[in-house]
C-alpha cells in the first residue's frame, strides 16, 4: 500500500454561491463521507491545507486578476458576480486560497518523500481559471499553481498534468501553452463548455470526445494519446485535475463514464508516476456534481492511488 496524503480545509466549505448552484459545499462532504464509509479515510494521512501565498499565485496569474478578486470580494451575506456562473461570497477568497494552498503543500509533501501521492479534496475548482480571468466556477487555477511551484521551488524540469474533467481545462492550457516544461493531457466532451478553441502545441494533448462516448471510447483515447505522450515526456511529477462530472449519473455532461473508468485511468497514471516520477502524483478535485456518483468516483480514485 502506498502512503497517500489527504488535504482539505474547513474554509473550503464556506464558499457558496446562489441556492441551487451545483458547485456547492456538499460536494466535499459527499467525498469525505464515502471515504469514511469505505474505510479508506483511515488509511490516508490527513494534512490541513495552508493558505496559498500571493507569490505562489503570481506565477500563473496576473497581478490585475489577483487584485480584481480582492476588490470584488463582498462582505456580510452579499454575493459578487464574476461571471454568470461564478460568484463570490465573503468566504470565497479564503476557500480559494486553501484550495490552491492544498496543491502547493501536496507537491511539497510528495517531493519531500513524506507521501507517495496526495489527494486534495478542495473547492472551488481551478482548471477554467486563466492567467487573467476567473470563470466557470474557478478563481485560481489550483493545479497550475502547484505545477508552477514544483518548477520554481523544487527545480523540476518536467511536470505532466492529466485532466479527465468533462469540461476542457482551458485555463491550464493557456497558462502553460508557451513552456516545454509542462505537458497537459486532457479528455473532454466536445463541443461543450467552455467552447474555447484548443491551442496547437506539442505539449498540449487534446482528446475531444463526443457526448455519449462512454468508458470504452474514453479508455481508447487515453491509451492512444495520453499514455504514450506521458511516457515519452518522462515527467518528474504527475498532477491530476480530477473532475468527476463525466460520470453517467452527472447531468452536467454526457460522457457516460462509471467508477471503473476512474479507477482504471488513475491506475494508469499511478503506474506512469512509478515508472518516471518516483511515484509522485498529486490529484486535486475539479468538477463532479451528482453527489453520490462524485463520492463513489473519488473513492475509487483514492483507492487506486493507495494501490489496494
Asked if 287 is part of the footprint of Zn ion (rule: CB under 5 A), the reply reads yes
Hunting for cell 463532479 — which residue is that? 288
**Per CB under 5 A, which of residues 166..185 are in contact with Zn ion?**
167
Asked if 243 is part of the footprint of Zn ion (rule: CB under 5 A), the reply reads yes
Asked if 245 is part of the footprint of Zn ion (rule: CB under 5 A), the reply reads yes
> Which of residues 11, 165, 259, 261 is near Zn ion by CB under 5 A?
165
The contacts of residue 30 (CB under 8 Å, 6+ apart) are 291, 292, 294, 295
Stretch that binds Zn ion, among 79-87, 91-99, 169-177, 245-253 (CB under 5 A): 245-253
Residue 157 to residues 22, 61, 233: CA-CA distances in angstroms? Answer: 37, 20, 11
Task: Give the strand pairing for 117-120 and 281-285.
Answer: parallel
d(CA 232, CA 286): 26
**Which residue, 287 or 295, is less far from Zn ion as judged by CB?**
287
**Which residue, 290 or 300, is less far from Zn ion as judged by CB?**
290
d(CA 235, CA 251): 34
**Which residue, 105 or 167, is less far from Zn ion as judged by CB?**
167
**Which residue, 11 or 286, is less far from Zn ion as judged by CB?**
286
Catalytic annotation, pick one of 9, 127, 128, 167: 128
Shortest Å, Cβ 179 to Zn ion: 24
149 has catalytic annotation: no
Asked if 23 is part of the footprint of Zn ion (rule: CB under 5 A), the reply reads no
d(CA 128, CA 60): 13
Asked if 136 is part of the footprint of Zn ion (rule: CB under 5 A), the reply reads no
Are 76 and 83 in contact by the 8 Å Cβ rule? The answer is no
Shortest Å, Cβ 171 to Zn ion: 12
Helix (H) or strand (E) holding 68: helix 63-72
Q: Which amino acids are annotated catalytic?
A: 128
Judged by the rule CB under 5 A, the positions of this chain that interact with Zn ion are 165, 167, 243, 245, 287
Amino acid at each position: 500500500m502506498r502512503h497517500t496524503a489527504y488535504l482539505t480545509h474547513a474554509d473550503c466549505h464556506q464558499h457558496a454561491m446562489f441556492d441551487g448552484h451545483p458547485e456547492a459545499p456538499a460536494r466535499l462532504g459527499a467525498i469525505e463521507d464515502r471515504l469514511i464509509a469505505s474505510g479508506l479515510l483511515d488509511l490516508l494521512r490527513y494534512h490541513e491545507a495552508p493558505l496559498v501565498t500571493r507569490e505562489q499565485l503570481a506565477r500563473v496569474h496576473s497581478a490585475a486578476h489577483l487584485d480584481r478578486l480582492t476588490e470584488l470580494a463582498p462582505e456580510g451575506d452579499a454575493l459578487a458576480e464574476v461571471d454568470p456562473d461564478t460568484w463570490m461570497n465573503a468566504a470565497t477568497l479564503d476557500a480559494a486560497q486553501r484550495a490552491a494552498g492544498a496543491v502547493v503543500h501536496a507537491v511539497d509533501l510528495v517531493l519531500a518523500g513524506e507521501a507517495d501521492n496526495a489527494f486534495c479534496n478542495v473547492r472551488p475548482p481551478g482548471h477554467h481559471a486563466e492567467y487573467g480571468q476567473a470563470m466557470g466556477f474557478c478563481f485560481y487555477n489550483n493545479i497550475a499553481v502547484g505545477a508552477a511551484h514544483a518548477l520554481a521551488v523544487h527545480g523540476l524540469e518536467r511536470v505532466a498534468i492529466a485532466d479527465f474533467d468533462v469540461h476542457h481545462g482551458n485555463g491550464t492550457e493557456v497558462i502553460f501553452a508557451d513552456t516545454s516544461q509542462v505537458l497537459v493531457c486532457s479528455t473532454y466532451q466536445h463541443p461543450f463548455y467552455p467552447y474555447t478553441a484548443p491551442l496547437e502545441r506539442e505539449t498540449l494533448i487534446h482528446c475531444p470526445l463526443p457526448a455519449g462516448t462512454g468508458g470504452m471510447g474514453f479508455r481508447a483515447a487515453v491509451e492512444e494519446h495520453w499514455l504514450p505522450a506521458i511516457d515519452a515526456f518522462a515527467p518528474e511529477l504527475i498532477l491530476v485535475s480530477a473532475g468527476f462530472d463525466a460520470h453517467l449519473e452527472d447531468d452536467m455532461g454526457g460522457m457516460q463514464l462509471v467508477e471503473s473508468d476512474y479507477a482504471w485511468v488513475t491506475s494508469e497514471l499511478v503506474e506512469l508516476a512509478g515508472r518516471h516520477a518516483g511515484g509522485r502524483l498529486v490529484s486535486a478535485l475539479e468538477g463532479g456534481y451528482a453527489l453520490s456518483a462524485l463520492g463513489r468516483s473519488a473513492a475509487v480514485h483514492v483507492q487506486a492511488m493507495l494501490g489496494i
